[in-house]
Amino acid sequence: MAELVIRQAVGADFAAIKNLIHEVGINPTGLDWRRFIVVEAFGRQFAGCGQLKPHSDGSIEMASIAVLPSWRGQGIARLIIQKLLESAPRPLYLTCRSQLGVFYQKFGFCIANDEQLPKYFRRISRIGGLMNSLHVINDKLLVMVLNQ
Ligand SMILES: CC(C)(COP(=O)(O)OP(=O)(O)OC[C@H]1O[C@@H](n2cnc3c(N)ncnc32)[C@H](O)[C@@H]1OP(=O)(O)O)[C@@H](O)C(=O)NCCC(=O)NCCS
């Protein structure tokens, strides 16, 4: 197992964060490095990242969870998520492709009830449903919540 260090991001991490988020094709908006935590392997190699992202309705999203392909399957996403959960308020929301629902269930997230969603996530859920019904995206978009 590689020697892993998890830490708050610094400005010098921004390029690596941006590149990874673009490479894996997840939401590229709201990538303020000050909110990110990153994992480094063997002291220097950037291996993955994640953030807690605030929205204008007051809700908080666990977002931008990504690990470089060569570092996957070694518990790095778990490390990032557990660290973010230590300081995250509840309820905590996330959006993901339906394939990843099982992954986030491991951390206690459940599929959110549409009627109880804050404004931002209600809108995302509607847009996701529309894009799915128009076949713009093949996979269903899930909004998940962690209450405890
Ligand atoms: C999803 C992703 C973050 C997982 O990173 P990782 O470091 O390989 O994950 P971990 O090794 O920490 O795995 C943690 C657990 O989740 C499971 N898991 C990992 N990827 C999974 C997947 N795609 N689907 C279901 N379960 C998965 C692992 O088996 C492990 O389970 P265990 O602890 O019970 O053994 C990584 O594949 C990635 O960066 N994907 C592209 C970006 C992305 O889709 N991010 C999510 C945005 S919502």
Mean pLDDT in order along the chain per 10 residues (148 residues): 91 98 97 98 93 98 98 97 98 97 98 94 92 81 96
Atom number of ligand 1 nearest to Cα 25: 42
Global model pTM greater than 0.85: yes
In the prediction, which pLDDT does 1 show? 64
CA 100 to centroid of ligand 1, rounded, Å: 8
How far, in Å, CA of 147 to CA of 132, rounded?
A: 27
Ligand 1: which residue has its CA nearest to atom 9?
77
> Which of 18-44 are b and which e, b meaning 16 or more Cβ less than 10 Å from the residue's Cβ?
eebbeeeeeeeeebebebbbbbbbeee
pLDDT, the chain, mean: 95
Name the maximum alpha-carbon separation found in the chain.
Answer: 46
Å from CA of 105 to ligand 1 middle:
11
Domain locations in the chain? Answer: 1-89, 90-148
pLDDT score, position 50: 98
Task: Output the pLDDT for position 135.
Answer: 79
Q: Would you state the pLDDT for residue 131?
A: 84
CATH entry, 1-89, from 3.40.630.30, 3.90.550.10, 2.60.40.420, 3.10.130.10: 3.40.630.30
